[in-house]
Homo-oligomer: A and B are copies of this chain.
Amino acid sequence: MSAESNSTCPVCKTAEVVCGKWTLLLIRDLAEGNARFCELERSLEGISPRTLSLRLRALEEEGVVERHTYPEVPPRVEYALTAKGKALVPLVEDMRRYGMRWLLGDAADARQPAAV
């Protein structure tokens, strides 16, 4: 990996941050109010706890999410988006719009026109 393309390119910089398979889905879930590990695990059905843990840690490192521990029993941990993380929400909204069009078949005419 060494130098992820050009580090002075803004698009590359963002790509580095959101590169993981689950990252943007995770941002979406945090934006929707899911805060706890097990909530995220359930919402992102299919993610392994290891991957979730690694992604959360990486995003925390990058200052995109914050981790709050509550010393209860059993211990509770909550994750939240920082300002830096909230700034990614428009991206998720664009993805939602795009996916919506895709699922509605609006963009499907770009495939084979399928014998109108």
A residues with CB within 8 A of B: 2-6, 8-15, 17-19, 21, 24-25, 28, 44-47, 63-64, 82-85, 87-88, 90-92, 94-103, 107-111
Which residues of the other chain, B, contact A107 by a CB distance below 8 angstroms?
63, 83-84, 87
Task: Give the oligomeric copy count.
Answer: 2
Which residues of the other chain, B, contact A96 by a CB distance below 8 angstroms?
10-11, 14
CB distance from A84 to the nearest CB of B (A): 4
- Docked-complex contact B91 and A95, CB < 8 angstroms: yes
Give the residue of B12, B46, B97 whose beta carbon is less than 8 angstroms from that of A25. B12
- Docked-complex contact A99 and B63, CB < 8 angstroms: no
Complex Cα distance, B105 from A23, in Å, reads 22
